[in-house]
Amino acid sequence: MWTDKRRAVRHEWRISEKTIWIVSIIFGAFGTTIGMFVCRHKTKHVQFKMGLPLLAVVDLILLVEWMSRTQ
């Protein structure tokens, strides 16, 4: 988020929204959500404002479920 925000301010080549979603899905939406609010980037986009926190909750549920099965 920080990199894309910096590029937006400088009017440089941007990271696509598709790439942001893929990174969020693979590497975790929790960090992307925090980055979105800390950098104040993509916060006006409803799909990010609602979708990333929802995906973070799904990630948390899956993690809890996985940890309960491994014990």
> Across residues 61-68, what is the average pLDDT?
92
Please say whether the beta carbons of 33 and 53 come within 8 A: yes
How far apart (Å, rounded) are the C-alpha atoms in residues 29 and 12? 25
**11-62, pLDDT tens digit by residue?**
999 999 999 899 888 888 888 888 889 998 898 888 889 989 999 999 999 9
How far apart (Å, rounded) are the C-alpha atoms in residues 24 and 55? 8
Predicted pLDDT at 19: 92
